[in-house]
Structure 1
Amino acid sequence: MNSQSRGRVLIINPNSNEAVTAAMGVAISCLSCTTGVEMETRSLAGAPFGIESEADAARVAPMLAELVGEEEAGYDAFVIGCFLDPGLAACRHMTKKPVFGIGECSIYAALSLADQFGVLALSRASVGRHKPIFRRLGVWDRLAGELPLSISVAEAVSEESVYPRLLDAALCLRDSHGAGAVVLGCAGMARHRQRLQDDTGISIIDPVQAGAMRALGAVLTNQAASA
């Protein structure tokens, strides 16, 4: 930690897709500059290229817990950078430091901004994988809907051509489903957040930013309490 740092947060991409990790870094880069809290993004070594099934999520859970345990002394908070929040409970068991999942954080952020929220998912399979999250958090009655975009992670991260699809789905969630806020259901969609918010006129939540903000708040609150 440098002499000017007010704390450190490790945001872990639980897959080995470096393009997603880089996009996560861009999404939260402004937080370090404005707060003095270091925000580091890292891919999970040995992980699959993407978390595309419950089996993938189960596979990386112990790997994430091991990494958090190894790095506990060097960081003030941890963020699991996948909407499925793989290994969240296991990671929390490994450390007394706060650990946040971006899926959970983004949903709570949406609930604080609107009575009903929607989610944009990469695919139909993603919609199915997200159901346990809504069940665990008890938010079914406030979920306006979740729509699949039928795009890949790579397209979400780097292709500007997918934006019209995101916009159409977000407008559908707003106009046909009654969503007052929309969550981007993938860690790689951050580049589209501000434009979507401008074009739809409703709150658009990027999960990586939501998780990073929760971690940032925890770090600064703990520092204030111990000052």
Structure 2
Amino acid sequence: MDPNSDRLARILLINPNSLEATTAMMVAIAKSVAATGFDIVGATATRAPSMIVSAEALEAAAPEVEEIARAHQASSDGIIVAAFGDPGLAGIRAAIRLPAVGIGESSMLEAAEGGRRFGVATTTPLLKAKIDALPDTLGLRSCYTGTRFAEGDPSELMRDPARLRAALAGAVEVCIAQDGAEAVIIGGGPLGEAARELQPMFTVPVIAPIPSAVRRIVRLVTA
């Protein structure tokens, strides 16, 4: 894309979860950090659960994410996959000639800048193996200190923002105190608001994945 063009660059944010309210929240966060000249448009999966909490659901979401990307490719300049396991991202890159990023890979790349050791705090223990595999894919295994999980059922925590924030704060503390993390990612698109609220509470960087992905896709689209 020509960075001097008057047309806004259109970034498609795909929510692999099927909850429209989550898409609206993530788009609002993305717009708040997007560079001038960029517009963020959301698209929501319809065949996935309202919140993906298992490896099986994550894998099942990939085909629909790819379908959404193909359906919108003509009107988009870049794509963000807004679930932490980046479902469908590899397929999008194989099939579509547009810059595409995932919030999982983007946040890990940002967290590991300068060789910084990083951990992940999140709510979904059934996704542990998927999260643990991502640093290997990105060549960041030596920086990764592991993932810690908030205490409580993921769906119940999402219904109580104060409890969610407190539970994630506990997981962040463990990442720092026990694992030696020098930065902690809040691992999940639906956790976007909690991630921003947690950032001022810690002296180490708390990485919010949606802003990480926005910054990365802006760089790729304007390159």
Question: Is TM > 0.5 for Structure 1 vs Structure 2?
Answer: yes
Would you say how many aligned residue pairs link Structure 1 and Structure 2? 218
The corresponding residue for 2:43 is: 42
1:113–1:200 distance in 2 versus 1, CA, 3 Å: farther
1:194–1:40 distance in 2 versus 1, CA, 3 Å: same
1: CA distance between counterparts of 2:93 and 2:174?
A: 37
Structure-2-length-normalised TM-score: 0.88
Alignment of 1:135-154 (within 5 A): 135-151=136-152, 152-153=154-155
* 153-162 or 77-86, which deviates more: 153-162
1: CA distance between counterparts of 2:59 and 2:11?
A: 24
Alpha-carbon contact 1:98-1:218 (below 8 Å) kept = yes
Cα shift at 1:13: 0.3
Alpha-carbon contact 1:124-1:150 (below 8 Å) kept = no
Alpha-carbon contact 2:31-2:39 (below 8 Å) kept = no
The corresponding residue for 1:18 is: 20
Alignment of 1:28-39 (within 5 A): 28-32=30-34, 34-39=35-40
Report % sequence identity.
Answer: 26
1:9 aligns with 2:38: no
Structure-1-length-normalised TM-score: 0.86
1:157–1:18 distance in 2 versus 1, CA, 3 Å: farther
Alpha-carbon contact 2:120-2:184 (below 8 Å) kept = yes
Alpha-carbon contact 1:184-1:206 (below 8 Å) kept = yes
Alpha-carbon contact 1:113-1:181 (below 8 Å) kept = no
2: CA distance between counterparts of 1:168 and 1:217?
A: 33
Cα shift at 1:153: 4.7
Alpha-carbon contact 1:184-1:207 (below 8 Å) kept = yes
SS in 1 for 2:127: helix
Aligned partner (choices 185, 202, 216) of residue 214 of structure 1: 216
* 193-202 or 84-93, which deviates more: 193-202
Cα shift at 1:193: 2.7
2: CA distance between counterparts of 1:48 and 1:163?
A: 22
SS in 2 for 1:15: coil
The corresponding residue for 2:121 is: 120
Cα shift at 1:143: 1.1
The corresponding residue for 2:163 is: 161
- List per-residue Cα deviations over 1:97-122 (Å, max 9, x = no partner): 11111100110010116620010021
SS in 1 for 2:189: coil
1: CA distance between counterparts of 2:13 and 2:159?
A: 17
Alpha-carbon contact 1:68-1:94 (below 8 Å) kept = no
The corresponding residue for 1:225 is: none
Aligned partner (choices 171, 174, 177) of residue 172 of structure 1: 174
Unaligned ranges ≥5, structure 2: none
